[in-house]
Amino acid sequence: MTKMILATTLMSISLFAVDFTQMTTEELNEMRGTVAAEDRDAFRAEMQSRMQAMTTEEREAFIAQRQASGQSMGQGQRLRDGSGAGQMKRGGQGMGKR
């Protein structure tokens, strides 16, 4: 009985997973910053895959479009829950007293 409940739970969890491969690049771009924590790795992998598949011209146009709309490429971006790619300055690089 316990195994059946566990199997049912695992199957139901996989049903709620988001399939980012079925979305357009524009749809993925609009989702940036709003992806649930459990889906971030899959989202990141799909975005990296799309960016690598673009030609240099397509990639430059995509980045220019994002910058024109005020979106960064995630460099130094902090998410609301404190995770993200932000970097803290340590040692002699900070703004504190020396």
pLDDT (tens digit, 9 = 90+) per residue, 51-68?
Answer: 999 999 999 999 898 888
pLDDT at residue 58, rounded to an integer? 93
Q: Where are the alpha helices (DSSP H) in 16-93?
A: 25-31, 40-53, 56-68
| Domain hosting residue 43, numbered range | 19-71
- For residue 77, being part of any structural domain is answered with no
Q: Are 88 and 44 in contact (CB under 8 A)?
A: no
Residue 4 has pLDDT above 80, yes or no: no
The verdict on pTM exceeding 0.75 is no
- For residue 11, being part of any structural domain is answered with no
Count up the domains in the chain and report the number. Answer: 1
Which residues sit opposite 78 in a β-bridge?
A: 84
- For residue 93, being part of any structural domain is answered with no
Higher local confidence (pLDDT), 59 or 80: 59
pLDDT tens, position by position, 11-57? 555 556 789 999 999 999 899 889 999 999 999 999 999 999 999 99
pLDDT at residue 18, rounded to an integer? 86
Show the tokens assigned to 17: 């997973």
- For residue 92, being part of any structural domain is answered with no
